[in-house]
Amino acid sequence: MPKVILHEERCKGCKLCIEFCPRHILEVDKKINAKGFFSIKVTEQEKCTGCASCAVMCPDVAIEIEK
């Protein structure tokens, strides 16, 4: 099963990953990261297909997909 790994300290909360996730399993987190941004969180890890659309779209390289 694929796993989304978020590097919260790199995330600036641009939400591109949310827009491009075909399974709609990402959302903005309520906690603020070290850079002062609301980072992203995975809501339903088990629904991830490992397509890596989120990781490809992330300009900050804050997302990895572990297969």
Per-10-residue mean pLDDT of the chain, 67 residues long, equals 95 97 97 95 97 98 96
> In total, how many domains does the chain have?
1
Domain holding 61: CATH number? 3.30.70.20
> Residue 39: its pLDDT value, please?
95
First CA to last CA across the chain, in angstroms? 6
Q: Rounded to two decimals, what is the model's pTM? A: 0.90
- Residue 32's domain spans which residues? 3-66
> Residue 36: its pLDDT value, please?
96
**Rounded distance between C-alpha atoms, residue 7 and residue 19, angstroms:** 18
**Rounded distance between C-alpha atoms, residue 25 and residue 45, angstroms:** 7
